A and B are shown apart, each in its own frame.
Chain A
Amino acid sequence: VRVRGPARLIASGARLLLRMLSALLGRGPAHLQRPLLGPASRLGILRLAMTAHSFALPVIIFTTFWGLIGIAGPWFVPKGPNRGVIITMLVATAVCCYLFWLIAILAQLNPLFGPQLKNETIWYVRFLWE
């Protein structure tokens, strides 16, 4: 019963955060467009689907995943002498891993400059990744 108070706060904080993020999602990655068809398609060669990466979907998936581990997981730990330690471990793992993933994706959300590639790489990748 003690855990419910803070859990509710955390849940409402998470909802607020999601609202903030979805407000930004409208302005999210500034270059969301349908992929241009490259020359390879004219030749009928099977190419990788160059779909635009959305931002909302990974956020929802990972937030739910780590949320389940960190917030719902502690409820299912069986009673025993190690219950406290296991709950601490679950919450700490969820927080650390989620934060690390979030930093990685936020850092790439709005890149200010692009990769500088060698001409050989450009020539090769241009056709390989289409």
Chain B
Amino acid sequence: MGSMFRSEEVALVQLFLPTAAAYTCVSRLGELGLVEFRDLNASVSAFQRRFVVDVRRCEELEKTFTFLQEEVRRAGLVLPPPEGRLPAPPPRDLLRIQEETERLAQELRDVRGNQQALRAQLHQLQLHAAVLGQGHGPQLAAAHTDGTSERMPLLQAPGGPHQDLRVNFVAGAVEPHKAPALERLLWRACRGFLIASFRELEQPLEHPVTGEPATWMTFLISYWGEQIGQKIRKITDCFHCHVFPFLEQEEARRGALRQLQQQSQELQEVLGETERFLSQVLGRVLQLLPPGQVQVHKMKAVYLALNQCSVSTTHKCLIAEAWCSVRDLPALQEALRDSSTEEGVSAVAHRIPCRDMPPTLIRTNRFTASFQGIVDAYGVGRYQEVNPAPYTIITFPFLFAVMFGDVGHGLLMFLFALAMVLAENRPAVKAAQNEIWQTFFRGRYLLLLMGLFSIYTGFIYNECFSRATSIFPSGWSVAAMANQSGWSDAFLAQHAMLTLDPNVTGVFLGPYPFGIDPVWSLAANHLSFLNSFKMKMSVILGVVHMAFGVVLGVFNHVHFGQKHRLLLETLPELTFLLGLFGYLVFLVIYKWLCVSAASAALAPSILIHFINMFLFSHSPTNRPLYPRQEVVQATLVVLALAMVPVLLLGTPLHLLRRHRPHLRRRAAGRQEEDKAGLLDLPDASVNGWSSDEEKAGGLDDEEEAELVPSEVLMHQAIHTIEFCLGCVSNTASYLRLWALSLAHAQLSEVLWAMVMSIGLGLSREVGVAAVVLVPIFAAFAVMTVAILLVMEGLSAFLHALRLHWVEFQNKFYSGTGYKLSPFTFAATDD
């Protein structure tokens, strides 16, 4: 059998890495992804390990990388993906990378700072220019009446002797939403002594930091009096207004404006230069960053792995322990040899025995990966126990299809999966980020098989979008029944429903050769027939599936050297299961074969027989199926019940009997060992901790596992109760196959009857019917996909999964292992 039957052999390997070559070797191992390192320094905290300084440096570099990445993102650029093979750089290169990165980061910070300052300055200049350029007409005109003009001073105070009052100005800009408040406050505080004029700037100015356009309100306050001036300044300060010097003379103002414009032009040139330099720096960052990130990531991973090795000072080398598949041992040794000969030393690896349970490794390709995935989702198998995945490849889609069976829906699912499979190598498809799509895409082979089997079961159920097809002529003849019973037209008009009787000759012509007869889809009592058929089908499939599970347990017992369990567990389990529920299956098939319509009125009821079998009672109205049925049933029940104590006590007694001499010796020997004070370690491993995995996976007879009798008996009692009660409940659980297929069929039929059927019957004229059918078909299609494909599909998927995880796997699978997760950089290389 291929490598999926059970886990590959995984061995514990001890690596001797000379200090000079340790980094290169581990880096090479990371590229290959062969081994999983065991942490030999588990008792040491992260800060006390040997290479913590290097790890710290890598982390600081990563922080700088993050800063650079953020800057790149802020500038609106996209980092190109790293190209080519980028192995972890040697330690001496780390300094160079660090220097370069630091320099770039510093430059970037400086340039950014300069740019900010320049922009703020430019903003001020622009604001000043705008304030000066804004015309506040009447006030300025009035300001010219210093007494030299002949016009009547508008600002003449009604009092009189105020001729040499000088009008002063405060000009500035304020944000528009603060302007009304400012105006009000000025009015209240300095009423009568100032005139304030607010104008909004037509052109919005760019905000220096965010770059968004913002409008400003400029104001010109003309006032007289020193104290008023102070008050006004305090108020404008409070409102965070930008205040600029406002010269009285028009020419002076114009000169100032010209100067401002010149300054801002120069500033803009400088700003342009700065931004050009910034883009240069960013260009260098784009070049350095992607490969640098990958390299530093790998380096950090290598140092973290090296931190897990223990240091042997006498031999000046690092000792590492790793799990490695036996098949990969030659490749491992070759890799170590290659990477260490460059330094002139040699690294070696050799296998050591180990008591701990190794991790499980099952190699899969892209087809089998999804099936192994759904098995692993329940629990990764214990080391070298039988893997249910190869059987799941077929039984899971099959049980799904039993619950989903419809040709049309199956075909849609199959085509969807086929499209995904055929497009699986396209880069656009692989790079899609949508999680829901990724879920469907990863299960494309699963969907393919599910669709294929659904088409098959759809043909057997004779359902295509809930319509039956007559591939072969039906086995029921309505004409024969009508002729023989004298069903004239008048008779038919009087009776709304009539039943075909298989006892009448010529009515039933034989079983439909492939699937369910199409006449049943026309019948009003089709559920009576289908329910009986599907329930019996579910029980038969369930018993076969569970018996297969028990048989798979045989391989486990043989492999782990527990042949006594074959006789003491598998045989009683099979007898119990098949004696009771296998017999039920036999009754079902017997009744199908031997009870015909002629005796339909007196047909025996299997259910009553089965109940009476357990109660040892007898129903007089229920005829026996075959002679001596009661004797057979009584024997089977007694046999099955007799198997329970065998199951309960067989294995514990056997184990206790086998270990009794050992236990006695151990009790005596323990006293001597305590005196000597030396415990000989069963492990050659440097790491003295042995992880506490299930002792039931014990390898040979010298299990140091303390055989506590109560524990063994308890364990076996639980197993017996679980199995016996589970037989009953699990068989009933398989009836969900019937329930879900019924639900799917009914939903499908309702959708057809309520949507398509009405649509097709709406009008007799082809033109009208064609137009009306378009939206009706659209509704039908949308509901088919949403309700029947997605919802029912998910539902059937879930139930098929449950049947596998619970009813099938609890007969032989423990799922208490852990996966081999090799030390690899592969995740960062994409």
Residues B390 and A88 in contact, CB atoms below 8 Å apart: yes
Residues B508 and A114 in contact, CB atoms below 8 Å apart: yes
Answer whether residue A10 sits at the interface, using C-beta atoms and an 8 A cutoff: no
B487: A residues at CB distance < 8 A: 122
B477: A residues at CB distance < 8 A: 35-36, 50, 129
Which A24-58 residues have C-beta < 8 A from chain B? Answer: 24, 27-33, 35-36, 38, 48-55, 57-58
Q: Which stretch (B65-73, B524-532, B607-615, B754-762) binds chain A?
A: B524-532
Answer whether residue B798 sits at the interface, using C-beta atoms and an 8 A cutoff: no
Residues B473 and A51 in contact, CB atoms below 8 Å apart: yes
Answer whether residue B593 sits at the interface, using C-beta atoms and an 8 A cutoff: yes
Answer whether residue B489 sits at the interface, using C-beta atoms and an 8 A cutoff: yes
Residues B595 and A112 in contact, CB atoms below 8 Å apart: yes
Q: Indicate with 1 or 0, residue by residue over A83-105, a CB within 8 angstroms of chain B CB atoms.
A: 11101110011001101110111
Answer whether residue B797 sits at the interface, using C-beta atoms and an 8 A cutoff: no
Closest to A106 in B: B592
B524: A residues at CB distance < 8 A: 115-118
Which B481-511 residues have C-beta < 8 A from chain A? Answer: 481-483, 487, 489, 492-493, 495-502, 505-511
Residues B589 and A106 in contact, CB atoms below 8 Å apart: yes
- In the bound assembly, the distance between CA atoms of A54 and B536 in angstroms comes to 23
Residues B528 and A96 in contact, CB atoms below 8 Å apart: no
How many residues from B make CB contacts under 8 Å with A?
80
Q: Indicate with 1 or 0, residue by residue over B373-411, a CB within 8 angstroms of chain A CB atoms.
A: 000000000000000001101110010001000000000
Q: Which stretch (B29-37, B229-237, B302-310, B513-521) binds chain A?
A: B513-521
Closest to A40 in B: B479
The 8 Å CB contact of B1, one of A24, A84, A101, is: A84
Residues B390 and A84 in contact, CB atoms below 8 Å apart: yes
- In the bound assembly, the distance between CA atoms of A49 and B477 in angstroms comes to 12
Contacts A29-B509, A100-B460, A110-B595; is A83 near B500 (CB within 8 Å)?
no
Residues B592 and A109 in contact, CB atoms below 8 Å apart: yes
Residues B2 and A24 in contact, CB atoms below 8 Å apart: no
Closest to A103 in B: B537
Answer whether residue B480 sits at the interface, using C-beta atoms and an 8 A cutoff: yes
A24: B residues at CB distance < 8 A: 593-594
- In the bound assembly, the distance between CA atoms of A47 and B726 in angstroms comes to 55
Closest to B493 in A: A119
Residues B596 and A125 in contact, CB atoms below 8 Å apart: no
Residues A38 and B483 in contact, CB atoms below 8 Å apart: yes
The 8 Å CB contact of A117, one of B390, B393, B523, B597, is: B523
Residues B512 and A53 in contact, CB atoms below 8 Å apart: yes
B497: A residues at CB distance < 8 A: 116-119
Residues B390 and A55 in contact, CB atoms below 8 Å apart: no
Residues B460 and A101 in contact, CB atoms below 8 Å apart: yes
- For A28, A88, A110, which residue has the most chain B Cβ atoms within 10 angstroms? A110
Residues B393 and A100 in contact, CB atoms below 8 Å apart: no
Which B533-577 residues have C-beta < 8 A from chain A? Answer: 533, 536-537, 540-541, 544
The 8 Å CB contact of A125, one of B365, B398, B478, B532, is: B478
Q: Can you give 22 contacting A-B residue pairs, CB < 8 Å?
A: A30-B502, A51-B509, A55-B511, A82-B2, A84-B1, A84-B3, A88-B390, A88-B393, A96-B394, A100-B402, A100-B537, A105-B512, A110-B595, A111-B529, A114-B500, A114-B502, A117-B523, A117-B524, A118-B497, A119-B496, A122-B498, A129-B477
